[in-house]
Amino acid sequence: MTVQIAGVASTPYGNHPDSSTRELFTDAALEALEDASLSVDDIEELYAGNFIGDLTDDQAHVGAMLADYLGARQAASMRTESACASASSAARSGAQAIAAGDADVALVGGVEMMHTSGLAEVTDALANAADNEYENEAGLTFPGIYALMAQVYMDEFDATNEDLAAVTVKNYDNGISNPIAQRQEETDVESVLESPPVATPLRLQDCCPITDGASAAVLVSEAYANEHGLETEVSVVGSGQSSDSIALQDRPDLARTRAAERAAEQAYERAEISAEDVDVVELHDCFTIAEILAIESLGFFERGEGARGAVEGETAVDGRIPVNTSGGLLAKGHPVGATGVGQLVEITKQLEGRHPNQVDDPTIGLTHTVGGSGASCVVTVLRAGGA
* Torsions phi, psi for 9 (to 5 deg): -165, 150
Pairing mode, strands 213-221 and 3-10 = antiparallel
Q: How far is CA 168 from the centre of its chain?
A: 17
334, 355, 368, 377: which one is catalytic?
A: 334
Distances (CA, A) of 248 to 75, 136, 158, 368, 370: 39, 12, 21, 20, 14
DSSP secondary structure string for all residues of 300-329: SS-TTTTTHHHHTTTTSTTSSS-B-TT-HH
120, burial (CB in 10 Å: exposed 0-12, middle 13-18, buried 19+): exposed
Q: How many whole angstroms from its chain centre is CA 138?
A: 28
DSSP E strands: which ranges in 50-183?
Answer: 76-80, 105-112
Task: Check whether the bond before 201 is cis (ω within 30° of 0).
Answer: yes
DSSP annotation of 158: -
Question: Is 334 a catalytic site residue?
Answer: yes
**Of 16, 84, 115, 355, which residue is the catalytic one?**
84
Identify the three-state secondary structure at position 98: helix
84 as an active site residue: the answer is yes
- Residues annotated as catalytic are 84, 334
